[in-house]
Protein backbone atom coordinates (compact mmCIF):
# COMPACT_ATOMS: atom_id res chain seq x y z
CA UNK A 1 0.00 0.00 0.00
CA UNK A 2 2.02 2.95 -1.30
CA UNK A 3 1.37 6.65 -0.58
CA UNK A 4 -0.71 7.37 -3.72
CA UNK A 5 -3.02 4.46 -2.92
CA UNK A 6 -3.35 5.67 0.67
CA UNK A 7 -4.38 9.11 -0.61
CA UNK A 8 -6.94 7.44 -2.86
CA UNK A 9 -8.40 5.50 0.07
CA UNK A 10 -8.53 8.72 2.09
CA UNK A 11 -10.61 10.22 -0.76
CA UNK A 12 -13.07 7.33 -0.52
CA UNK A 13 -13.26 7.75 3.27
CA UNK A 14 -13.87 11.50 2.92
CA UNK A 15 -16.65 10.77 0.45
CA UNK A 16 -18.37 8.59 3.06
CA UNK A 17 -18.04 11.43 5.59
CA UNK A 18 -19.67 13.85 3.10
CA UNK A 19 -22.53 11.42 2.48
CA UNK A 20 -23.17 11.04 6.21
CA UNK A 21 -23.04 14.77 6.88
CA UNK A 22 -25.40 15.63 4.03
CA UNK A 23 -27.92 12.80 4.37
CA UNK A 24 -27.96 11.70 8.01
CA UNK A 25 -31.28 12.71 9.68
CA UNK A 26 -29.76 14.64 12.58
CA UNK A 27 -33.20 16.05 13.40
CA UNK A 28 -34.39 12.56 14.41
CA UNK A 29 -31.84 12.70 17.22
CA UNK A 30 -32.96 16.16 18.25
CA UNK A 31 -29.85 17.76 16.76
CA UNK A 32 -30.55 21.14 15.17
CA UNK A 33 -27.86 22.02 12.65
CA UNK A 34 -26.94 25.72 12.66
CA UNK A 35 -27.83 28.08 9.83
CA UNK A 36 -26.46 31.53 9.15
CA UNK A 37 -27.68 34.47 7.13
CA UNK A 38 -25.09 35.90 4.73
CA UNK A 39 -26.54 39.09 3.24
CA UNK A 40 -29.93 37.43 2.77
CA UNK A 41 -28.59 34.02 1.74
CA UNK A 42 -29.56 31.39 4.34
CA UNK A 43 -26.89 28.69 4.46
CA UNK A 44 -26.59 25.48 6.44
CA UNK A 45 -23.14 25.13 7.99
CA UNK A 46 -23.17 21.38 7.36
CA UNK A 47 -22.79 22.11 3.64
CA UNK A 48 -19.92 24.50 4.30
CA UNK A 49 -18.16 21.77 6.30
CA UNK A 50 -18.89 19.21 3.59
CA UNK A 51 -17.58 21.67 1.01
CA UNK A 52 -14.22 21.96 2.74
CA UNK A 53 -14.03 18.15 2.95
CA UNK A 54 -14.91 17.92 -0.76
CA UNK A 55 -12.10 20.32 -1.65
CA UNK A 56 -9.63 18.29 0.44
CA UNK A 57 -10.80 15.10 -1.28
CA UNK A 58 -10.39 16.77 -4.68
CA UNK A 59 -6.85 17.83 -3.79
CA UNK A 60 -5.93 14.22 -2.94
CA UNK A 61 -7.07 13.31 -6.47
CA UNK A 62 -4.45 15.69 -7.87
CA UNK A 63 -1.61 14.57 -5.62
CA UNK A 64 -2.07 10.80 -5.73
CA UNK A 65 -1.57 10.71 -9.49
CA UNK A 66 1.28 13.22 -9.44
CA UNK A 67 3.16 11.33 -6.71
CA UNK A 68 2.57 7.99 -8.43
CA UNK A 69 3.99 9.22 -11.74
CA UNK A 70 6.90 11.10 -10.18
CA UNK A 71 8.04 8.14 -8.06
CA UNK A 72 7.17 5.42 -10.56
CA UNK A 73 4.48 4.02 -8.27
CA UNK A 74 1.78 3.61 -10.91
CA UNK A 75 0.09 0.21 -10.46
CA UNK A 76 -3.00 -1.49 -11.87
CA UNK A 77 -4.48 -1.53 -8.36
CA UNK A 78 -3.82 2.19 -8.01
CA UNK A 79 -5.47 2.94 -11.35
CA UNK A 80 -8.53 0.92 -10.38
CA UNK A 81 -8.81 2.51 -6.93
CA UNK A 82 -8.32 6.01 -8.37
CA UNK A 83 -11.07 5.49 -10.94
CA UNK A 84 -13.45 4.16 -8.27
CA UNK A 85 -12.63 7.00 -5.86
CA UNK A 86 -13.18 9.68 -8.51
CA UNK A 87 -16.56 8.33 -9.56
CA UNK A 88 -17.73 7.64 -6.00
CA UNK A 89 -16.86 11.20 -4.95
CA UNK A 90 -18.40 13.12 -7.84
CA UNK A 91 -21.41 10.85 -8.46
CA UNK A 92 -22.33 10.70 -4.76
CA UNK A 93 -22.28 14.49 -4.49
CA UNK A 94 -24.35 14.86 -7.66
CA UNK A 95 -26.96 12.45 -6.30
CA UNK A 96 -27.02 14.28 -2.94
CA UNK A 97 -27.53 17.66 -4.60
CA UNK A 98 -30.28 16.25 -6.83
CA UNK A 99 -31.97 14.65 -3.79
CA UNK A 100 -31.78 17.93 -1.88
CA UNK A 101 -33.21 19.84 -4.85
CA UNK A 102 -30.07 21.88 -5.56
CA UNK A 103 -29.80 20.54 -9.12
CA UNK A 104 -32.21 18.73 -11.49
CA UNK A 105 -32.19 14.92 -11.39
CA UNK A 106 -31.24 14.71 -15.07
CA UNK A 107 -27.73 15.98 -14.28
CA UNK A 108 -26.54 12.91 -12.28
CA UNK A 109 -28.51 10.62 -14.62
CA UNK A 110 -26.68 11.93 -17.70
CA UNK A 111 -23.32 12.14 -15.94
CA UNK A 112 -23.42 8.62 -14.48
CA UNK A 113 -24.90 7.12 -17.67
CA UNK A 114 -22.05 8.72 -19.61
CA UNK A 115 -19.47 7.25 -17.21
CA UNK A 116 -20.80 3.72 -17.74
CA UNK A 117 -20.73 4.07 -21.53
CA UNK A 118 -17.20 5.52 -21.57
CA UNK A 119 -15.93 2.83 -19.20
CA UNK A 120 -17.26 0.13 -21.52
CA UNK A 121 -15.66 1.86 -24.54
CA UNK A 122 -12.31 2.20 -22.77
CA UNK A 123 -12.30 -1.47 -21.76
CA UNK A 124 -13.06 -2.60 -25.30
CA UNK A 125 -10.36 -0.33 -26.77
CA UNK A 126 -7.87 -1.62 -24.20
CA UNK A 127 -8.85 -5.18 -25.06
CA UNK A 128 -7.84 -4.44 -28.64
CA UNK A 129 -4.36 -3.43 -27.55
CA UNK A 130 -4.72 0.35 -27.61
CA UNK A 131 -3.96 2.73 -24.75
CA UNK A 132 -6.67 5.33 -24.18
CA UNK A 133 -5.23 8.70 -23.18
CA UNK A 134 -7.36 11.29 -21.42
CA UNK A 135 -9.01 13.57 -23.97
CA UNK A 136 -9.21 17.35 -23.63
CA UNK A 137 -13.00 17.52 -23.43
CA UNK A 138 -12.91 15.00 -20.57
CA UNK A 139 -10.39 17.10 -18.65
CA UNK A 140 -12.48 20.24 -19.18
CA UNK A 141 -15.57 18.34 -18.01
CA UNK A 142 -13.85 17.20 -14.83
CA UNK A 143 -12.42 20.63 -13.96
CA UNK A 144 -15.74 22.40 -14.54
CA UNK A 145 -17.65 19.85 -12.48
CA UNK A 146 -15.23 19.93 -9.52
CA UNK A 147 -15.32 23.74 -9.36
CA UNK A 148 -19.08 23.84 -9.85
CA UNK A 149 -19.73 21.31 -7.08
CA UNK A 150 -17.35 23.13 -4.74
CA UNK A 151 -19.26 26.37 -5.31
CA UNK A 152 -22.59 24.58 -4.83
CA UNK A 153 -21.49 23.43 -1.36
CA UNK A 154 -20.89 27.10 -0.52
CA UNK A 155 -24.26 28.20 -1.92
CA UNK A 156 -22.57 29.78 -4.94
CA UNK A 157 -21.09 32.48 -2.71
CA UNK A 158 -19.95 35.17 -3.30
CA UNK A 159 -21.56 35.09 -6.79
CA UNK A 160 -25.02 34.44 -5.30
CA UNK A 161 -24.94 37.89 -3.70
CA UNK A 162 -24.99 39.33 -7.24
CA UNK A 163 -27.46 36.72 -8.54
CA UNK A 164 -24.83 35.23 -10.88
CA UNK A 165 -25.39 31.47 -11.06
CA UNK A 166 -21.78 30.40 -11.60
CA UNK A 167 -22.17 27.02 -9.83
CA UNK A 168 -25.22 26.09 -11.92
CA UNK A 169 -23.53 27.18 -15.14
CA UNK A 170 -20.38 25.13 -14.46
CA UNK A 171 -22.35 22.01 -13.51
CA UNK A 172 -24.56 22.25 -16.62
CA UNK A 173 -21.51 23.00 -18.77
CA UNK A 174 -19.70 19.95 -17.33
CA UNK A 175 -22.77 17.81 -18.05
CA UNK A 176 -22.77 18.96 -21.67
CA UNK A 177 -19.03 18.33 -21.94
CA UNK A 178 -19.55 14.85 -20.52
CA UNK A 179 -21.80 14.10 -23.51
CA UNK A 180 -19.29 15.70 -25.91
CA UNK A 181 -16.44 13.61 -24.51
CA UNK A 182 -18.59 10.46 -24.69
CA UNK A 183 -19.17 11.13 -28.40
CA UNK A 184 -15.42 11.62 -28.92
CA UNK A 185 -14.68 8.35 -27.12
CA UNK A 186 -17.31 6.63 -29.25
CA UNK A 187 -15.71 7.96 -32.44
CA UNK A 188 -12.32 6.78 -31.17
CA UNK A 189 -13.79 3.34 -30.50
CA UNK A 190 -15.26 3.20 -34.02
CA UNK A 191 -11.86 4.10 -35.45
CA UNK A 192 -10.16 1.35 -33.45
CA UNK A 193 -12.75 -1.24 -34.52
CA UNK A 194 -12.43 -0.14 -38.15
CA UNK A 195 -8.63 -0.47 -38.09
CA UNK A 196 -8.91 -3.88 -36.47
CA UNK A 197 -11.31 -5.11 -39.16
CA UNK A 198 -9.04 -3.79 -41.91
CA UNK A 199 -6.03 -5.62 -40.42
CA UNK A 200 -8.09 -8.79 -40.07
pLDDT in tens, 45-62: 999 999 999 999 999 888
Question: Regarding predicted confidence, which is higher, 5 or 92?
Answer: 92
The CATH number of whichever domain residue 59 belongs to comes to: 1.20.120.1760
pLDDT digits (tens, 9 = 90+) for 144-161: 999 999 999 999 999 999
Q: Is the peptide bond before 109 cis (omega within 30 degrees of 0)?
A: no
Centroid of chain to Cα 23: 18
User: Which of the 8 DSSP states describes residue 133?
Assistant: P
pLDDT at residue 71 above 50? Answer: yes
pTM, entire model: 0.90
Of 52, 59, 111, 54, residue with least CA distance to 87: 111
What value does the mean pLDDT take over residues 68-89? Answer: 82
* Predicted pLDDT of residue 127: 83
Q: Residue 189 is part of which domain span?
A: 3-199
**Number of domains into which the chain is organized:** 1
With cut-offs at 50, 70 and 90, classify the pLDDT of residue 198. low
Q: Cα–Cα distances in Å, from 144 out to 68, 90, 149, 172?
A: 24, 12, 9, 9
Average pLDDT over residues 71-87: 80
What does the mean pLDDT of the chain come to?
90
pLDDT score for 200: 45
Q: Can you give the pLDDT at residue 197?
A: 63
What was the pLDDT predicted at 120?
A: 92
The mean pLDDT of 26-53, rounded to a whole number, is 92
pLDDT of residue 122: 87
Most trustworthy range by pLDDT among 4-8, 37-41, 110-114: 110-114
Sign, CA torsion 163/167/169/170: positive
The three-class DSSP label of residue 177 is helix
Amino acid sequence: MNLPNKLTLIRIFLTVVIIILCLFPFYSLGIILPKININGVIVELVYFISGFIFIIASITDFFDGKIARKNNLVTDTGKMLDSIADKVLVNSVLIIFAYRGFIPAFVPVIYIFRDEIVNAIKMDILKNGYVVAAIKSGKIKTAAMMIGLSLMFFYNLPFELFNIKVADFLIYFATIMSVVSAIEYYNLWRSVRKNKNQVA
